[in-house]
Amino acid sequence: MSKEILISTTENIPGRSYEVIGEVFGVTTQSKNMFSNFGASMKNIVGGEIKAYTNMLHESREKAIERLKQEAIDVDADAVVMMRFDSGSIGGDMQSVVAYGTAVKFTD
């Protein structure tokens, strides 16, 4: 990625005017290996944070943002506004994360 894309969770970027290009998305689906799943099962018994899954979700969010930025570059956007995350489980051991927002082109 050579172009820097501004990502904002707000609708307005202070001091900037822009035109809307359209929706952009970044999606990833991740899973953990059998050893991590076993460790998670043990944590279900004793309680506590399941660090392997916390790390997996963090990595998934970063990957989703990377893909969101690339999709914004592909439509010649300068920024993405109103960026949000959504996630969900697929089966018992997979997690899907999507970063989405509105691609915009600066007019000033």
Structure tokens at 66: 């990377």
Counting residues of the chain whose pLDDT is more than 70, the rounded percentage is 82
Q: Is it the case that residue 40 has pLDDT exceeding 60?
A: no
pLDDT value at position 64? Answer: 97
In the numeric block, the tokens 């997979």 are attached to 94
pLDDT value at position 100? Answer: 98
CA distances from 73 to 5, 44, 79, 86, 102 (A): 7, 42, 9, 21, 12
Domains of the chain, residue spans? 6-106
**For residue 33, what pLDDT band results from cuts at 50, 70 and 90?**
low
Say if CB 104 and CB 77 are below 8 A apart: yes
Q: Is it the case that residue 81 has pLDDT exceeding 80?
A: yes
What is the CATH topology of the domain spanning 6-106? Translation Initiation Factor IF3 (3.30.110)
pLDDT tens-digit series, residues 67-78: 999 999 999 999
Sheet of 6-7: strand order equals 6-7, 79-90, 94-106, 18-31
For the chain, the first-to-last Cα distance in angstroms comes to 23
Q: Is it the case that residue 55 has pLDDT exceeding 80?
A: yes
